[in-house]
Amino acid sequence: MKQLTARQVAEISGGKLIGDPNTLITGAASLKSARQDQVSFIGSKKYLHQLDQSRAGVVLVDKKLEQELTDGHTFVVCDNVDAAFSEILLVFAPEAITYAPGIHPSAVIDPSVSIGKKVYIGANVVIEANCVIGDDTAIGAGTFIGREVKIGQANRIAPNVTIMHRCIIGNQNILHPGVVVGADGFGFIPGPHGLEKVAQTGIVQIDDDVEIGANSTIDRARFEKTWIKSNVKIDNQVMIAHNVEIGESTIMIAQTGVAGSTKIGRDVIIAGRAGINGHITLGDGVKVAGTSGVVKSVPAGGIVVGTPAEGQREFMGRRALPKKVKRLSDKLDVLKKEVQQLKNK
């Protein structure tokens, strides 16, 4: 069994040790469930009340909480407790699952496909004509890759993913199970025989270091491309419509949706379950609160909340309306009495 002393924990995490350096730990757990031989962590004041009851042998603590600590545990005070705990978790984690290069005999790969070095292709994968698969890329079982798709190096594509024809995937991307890249965008024109489909002739382009969560869908462009730029992180069940652009390092939490042709800048954070209207622009660094419905463009750095989304001040003012109305009503009643007294005179 792997084990670390508190001193080793402090060394690995680069933190400051407070308490017994020889405390032995053999695993990591949450404050609530940790045993005496486990290390835990606390990053927010909110969880301080769990510290007294916790049996954790060693606790990593964010430095901003250092003044709040009481006796009873061995602590390691860290600059970035989240990153530090991740390091410790890796020591005790079971060995990572990796796939040795090789192509499963059940995979159905068109002879025209170009496959790089050290590629893993799982069972029942289907790769159609004229695709290119770069070095060190792994493709999980049951995944479908349509015609003329270009996939770069060192991608990790999960089982049961669907990548439709002509899409372009760069390097070091992670696609989780159930992801669909390059289904048709949604477009119809009323015609003499009902709604007529607008051909979706473009592609999806995903640059590098992008992660896309389970069952998310990214539609192909009507023309040109739907474009996910480098380092974008997309959670599960996110929907990105045709011709959308997402800027570098933007984060989209689960179940958000972006309608067609909207341009989202870099370093934007869209919290869970938010919806973004089509044909608008979100500037760099915009923050969208969870569940918001953004109908208008937001300039760089803007923070919006609510549906239809507005600034935090407007939103808080709106939330405070019941109290304001109550106060108005009280004031009015007082004034009414005064007027009555004047009339009585």
180, 228, 246, 304: which one binds its own copies (CB under 8 A):
180
Number of residues that bind its own copies (CB under 8 A): 108
Distance CA 142, CA 342 (A): 85
173, 219, 286, 304: which one binds its own copies (CB under 8 A):
219
- The conformation of residue 94, written as its DSSP 8-state character, comes to P
Give the number of other CB atoms < 10 A from CB of residue 133: 26
Sign of CA dihedral 21, 26, 30, 36: negative
Q: Give the Å distances, CA to CA, from 335 to 40, 149, 322, 324, 328.
A: 60, 75, 20, 17, 11
24, 113, 198, 303: which one binds its own copies (CB under 8 A):
198
Taking the complex as a whole, the smallest distance from the CB of residue 148 to its own copies amounts, in Å, to: 8
Residues 46-105 that bind its own copies (CB under 8 A): 46, 80, 82-83, 86, 89-90, 92-94, 96-97, 104
Give the contact letters, 135-164, x = binds to its own copies (CB under 8 A), - = no: -----xxx-x-xx----------xxx-x-x
Taking the complex as a whole, the smallest distance from the CB of residue 247 to its own copies amounts, in Å, to: 13
Give the number of other CB atoms < 10 A from CB of residue 272: 16
Taking the complex as a whole, the smallest distance from the CB of residue 109 to its own copies amounts, in Å, to: 10
Residues 250-309 that bind its own copies (CB under 8 A): 251, 253-255, 257, 259, 272-273, 275, 277, 279, 290-291, 293, 295, 306-308
Q: 3-class SS at 52?
A: helix
Residue 54's contacts (CB-CB under 8 Å, 6 or more residues apart) are 31, 32, 34, 40, 73
Instruction: Kindly state whether residue 14 participates in binding its own copies, applying the rule CB under 8 A.
Output: no
Taking the complex as a whole, the smallest distance from the CB of residue 141 to its own copies amounts, in Å, to: 4
Taking the complex as a whole, the smallest distance from the CB of residue 199 to its own copies amounts, in Å, to: 6
Distance CA 232, CA 169 (A): 13
Query: Judged by CB under 8 A, which stretch of 12-20, 23-31, 63-71, 111-119 contacts its own copies?
Result: 23-31
Which one is catalytic: 104, 176, 193, 242?
A: 242
104 catalytic? Reply is: no
Cα angle 146, 147, 149 (rounded to 5 degrees) comes to: 80
Instruction: Kindly state whether residue 130 participates in binding its own copies, applying the rule CB under 8 A.
Output: no
Write the single-letter amino acid at 91: V
User: Residue 300 phi/psi, 5° resolution?
Assistant: -50, 140
Cβ–Cβ < 8 Å for 20, 74: yes
Instruction: Kindly state whether residue 26 participates in binding its own copies, applying the rule CB under 8 A.
Output: no
Residues 305-334 that bind its own copies (CB under 8 A): 306-308, 314, 317-319, 321-322, 324-325, 328-329, 331-332
Instruction: Kindly state whether residue 1 participates in binding its own copies, applying the rule CB under 8 A.
Output: no
Among 168, 205, 2, residue whose Cα is nearest residue 88: 2
Token pair 């680069």: residue: 14
138, 151, 166, 298: which one binds its own copies (CB under 8 A):
166
Cα angle 107, 109, 112 (rounded to 5 degrees) comes to: 165
Cβ nearer to its own copies, comparing 21 with 115 = 115
Residue 48 corresponds to which tokens in the numbers above? Answer: 């301080």
Q: 3-class SS at 228?
A: strand
58, 59, 222, 287: which one binds its own copies (CB under 8 A):
222
Q: Which residues are catalytic?
A: 242
